[in-house]
Amino acid sequence: MLKQILVYALILALSLIGYFVITEPIILGPTASMVIIILIALVLLYILVRTIMGSFVGRRTVFTFVAIAVILPFFMTVDQPIKVSPEVQQLYDAVMALRPGSKVLVSFDYDPPSAPELQPMAESFFALCIERDLKIIIMGLWPQGPQQADLAMQTILREEAFAGKSWKYGTDYVNLGFQSGNEFVIQRMGGEIGSMFHNDFYGTPYDSLPLVRNIKNFSNIDFSFNLSAGYPGSVEWVQVAVDRYGLKMGAGNTAVQAPQMYPYLRAGQLTGLLGGLNGAAEFEKVTGRKAKGTRFMVSQSFSHVVVIAFIIIGNAAFFLGEKRRKKPEGETS
Amino acid sequence: MEQQIGLWVGAFLTMGIISFLYKDNPWYKLTEAIFVGISAGYWFVALFWDNIVGKFWIGVFDRGDYYLLVGAVLGLLMLMRLAPKIGWISRWPLSFVVGAISGFYLLNYFSSNVMLQVQSTIMPLFSPQFNDPLFTSSAGNIISNLFIAGGTFTGLVYFFFSKEHKGAFGGAAKIGIWVIMITFGASFGYTVMSRMSLLIGRMYFIFGEWLNLIG
Amino acid sequence: MRREIPLLITGIVGVVFVIQYFIPHYPFNQLNNWFSDWFSIIAACAIWLGALNLLKVSANKIYRKREDWGFSIVIIVCFLIITIIGFAEGEGFRNIGTKFDWLYQYVYTPLSSTMFALLAFFVASASYRAFRARNFDATLLLVAAFLVMIGRVPVGDAIAMKLHLPLSIYPSEISSWIMNVFNTAGQRAIMIGIALGIVSTSLRVILGIERAHLGGD
């Protein structure tokens, strides 16, 4: 119990120091960054040797390395080349091909846990739509979705680049809110969107919103973008809106879900796909608006390298340990 | 001020969950209990306003959609599950849900996940039109298509358990499992990516939004 | 009565949805609309059932003073706080600036996000301790994971650039090829397999052959 209290006190002390004592942001220059990287590599090498000798490090050591790999890059100045993959380019091209004034339906089918991956995509997509003067219709099959949409729209409208744009609610974008019923909602929207959304997120009647007043169903939508973290999400949108009603759709998925979407992409059921934070960073690169996706890629790179290093260490120990075990057998035979 | 308090509360809760990495402790248990209570309450409130009020109440009393009363009755029957003696009646709404999902999935899955997938797996090598180029696509694309067709076929062979995996059939199944293994490997890589992204998001909250240490 | 009526309901509802796929006109579109609205209301009640059940279990734990019963009080209190605030704020409960929104942003979001983020540590730890190239199949899995992990982040290409590797074997190119070809083939096989399973199970449910959802007695 005493140990626990000491740990709590230490965390509190560190937090207070971080909050009140260190008032300036920490920025590590390229040399300091390089030194830190070399130090981490040396410690990993030490762990490799230790593991080969038969002594596995505890899980808390692995946890510490993961934390370091994620946190340190926030303070580093490292430039990385981001390459745009064909599926991201395809989505970008599809949006760019839309004429100004086209209506884009964006469905937010995720909740806060997936926001680190999907929120940067949402923001970049909104930014591109506003830049291209595309009209945005927001909705959600997850109750938290429209709230996430609101946060993304606020972030974009606060940006300097869009300060001069008179982007008005009701005529340039609307948030229809959440509707329960999963894929049944999509099916009903295929017949009549208004039948599923009598009021918008703020309680305004559907028919009072100039942007959607004349939108009957998917045939009046020029493009759709679905941000999804699971069920209901992109799979259901493809099955119902795309395959049954012919809606043209691109998707932004969490990295866990993205591999399952590739068959749809290859079959032409999806027009472009952003997979995980990497997809968000690539989309930022192609749209030319560097934001959180790009910034987080340094941490993402470091954490991947650490996981790979631990896999290699584990396997090196496995094979060398195996050899050591086999040797005495060979000698006796 | 509200925002500042919010950031402190958010940081306290975030670190409480992370403290589980050290070991199961009262701070973690407290945050876990708050999470359970708040998230159950969130759904309770959201569905009350969106469904019970937004769909049912306004539908019946403002628009006169009396057919919604049947849905409400079925919903109430669902709640009967809490009363052990008459709990069996909750099977009625449950069977409605099962029937609706079955009817809906039957053709949607068959069309999107079977027919269209098979169609896009079997791609022609040669152009059918007289004046078109001989091949339908570039060499790289054709090779990729052949790999996809072979991989999908052998993968399906692996999942076919009504025949013993022996001889040529067994060979195909063996290739199938290799394809599935590569698929699982790719999925694992993406899962790592996803989990790390979420952690990055949380750490950014602590060091960037709360402590303001990131430039 | 206890089995026949549920079977009848399942059959009728299922058949209506199937017919509606082919004939999306009156009366089937009308029935489809009704059924999907009922479905939404039942779904809401099902989630209510879950929440009420949670309260019941927690109250029971407090009453019997089981281990960690104090945390059950926290569950009930938190549930009541957000519920009362949500009900009191009316239909605009989610609007920015409301107390409910504050709870969403500073309590619900950090908790739910961190809960999932925690998995990052365990994935790394499990990779170190259990991810082994024990045989050919496992090696394929490991190599694919390795290539995708390194290829989907910029550091892979940065290393390849330093080593002056040809562009066609850059990690991003290889991982893209794995995702678009092998992953597509494997996912498609799994997808078709699952879909055929869903189709046959749905048919059995609608025809009343599959009755597992009706439980015992």
Residues A12-37: tens digit of each pLDDT: 888 888 888 888 888 888 888 889 88
Number of CB atoms found within 10 A of residue C80's CB: 13
Which among C42, C69, C44, C45 is positioned nearest to C57, based on CA atoms? C69
The confidence band for A161, taking pLDDT boundaries of 50, 70 and 90, is: confident
- Mean pLDDT, residues A104-117: 95
CB-nearest to B99 from C13, C87, C144 is C13
- Whether residue A332 has pLDDT greater than 60: no
Rounded mean pLDDT of chain B?
Answer: 92
- Mean pLDDT, residues B130-143: 80
The rounded distance, in Å, linking the Cα atoms of A194 and A175 is: 13
- Whether residue C179 has pLDDT greater than 80: yes
Residues of C in contact with A314 (CB under 8 A): 127-132
Model confidence pLDDT, tens digit, residues B14-24: 999 999 998 89
Residues of B in contact with C100 (CB under 8 A): 45
State the residue for tokens 């040669």: B126
Cβ–Cβ below 8 Å for B46 and A143: yes
Global pTM value = 0.92
- Mean pLDDT, residues A132-152: 94
**What letter does residue A311 receive in the DSSP assignment?**
H
- Whether residue C184 has pLDDT greater than 80: yes
Report ipTM (2 d.p.).
Answer: 0.91
- Mean pLDDT, residues C18-30: 91
In A248-307, the residues whose Cβ lies within 8 Å of chain B are 254-256, 258-259, 263, 266-269, 275-278, 292, 296, 299-300, 303-304, 307
The rounded distance, in Å, linking the Cα atoms of C32 and C25 is: 10
Number of CB atoms found within 10 A of residue A241's CB: 24
Under 8 Å between Cβ of A108 and A201: no
- Say what the pLDDT of residue B140 is: 85
- Say what the pLDDT of residue C216 is: 60
Which among A150, A134, A135, A122 is positioned nearest to A251, based on CA atoms? A122
Which among A260, A264, C190 is positioned nearest to B112, based on CA atoms? A264
Cβ–Cβ below 8 Å for C124 and A307: yes
Residue of A nearest to B108 (CA): A239
The rounded distance, in Å, linking the Cα atoms of A298 and A292 is: 11
The rounded distance, in Å, linking the Cα atoms of A122 and A154 is: 11
- Whether residue B169 has pLDDT greater than 80: yes
Neighbours of chain B (3+ CB pairs under 8 A): A, C
On whether the A86-290 domain is CATH 3.10.450, my answer is no
Question: Domain map of chain B by residue range?
Answer: 1-66, 138-215
In C80-109, the residues whose Cβ lies within 8 Å of chain A are 91-92, 94-96, 101, 104, 108-109
* Burial degree of C132 (CB within 10 A; 0-12, 13-18, 19+): middle
- In percent, the amount of chain C with pLDDT more than 70 equals 99
The confidence band for A330, taking pLDDT boundaries of 50, 70 and 90, is: very low
- In percent, the amount of chain A with pLDDT more than 70 equals 96
Rounded mean pLDDT of chain C?
Answer: 92
Instruction: Please state the separation of Cα A128 from the chain's center in Å.
Output: 17
Asked if A239 reaches chain B (Cβ–Cβ under 8 Å), the answer is yes
Cβ–Cβ below 8 Å for B91 and C121: no
Q: H or E segment at B168?
A: helix B167-204
The confidence band for A74, taking pLDDT boundaries of 50, 70 and 90, is: very high
Under 8 Å between Cβ of A183 and A240: yes
Model confidence pLDDT, tens digit, residues B64-73: 999 999 999 9
- Whether residue C8 has pLDDT greater than 60: yes
* Residue of higher predicted confidence among B193 and A180: B193
Could you please report the per-residue DSSP string of C146-171? HHHHHHTSHHHHHHHHHTT--GGG-H
- Mean pLDDT, residues A188-200: 91
Under 8 Å between Cβ of C86 and B41: yes
- Mean pLDDT, residues C122-146: 93
Q: Hey, what amino acid is at C198?
A: I
- In percent, the amount of chain B with pLDDT more than 70 equals 100
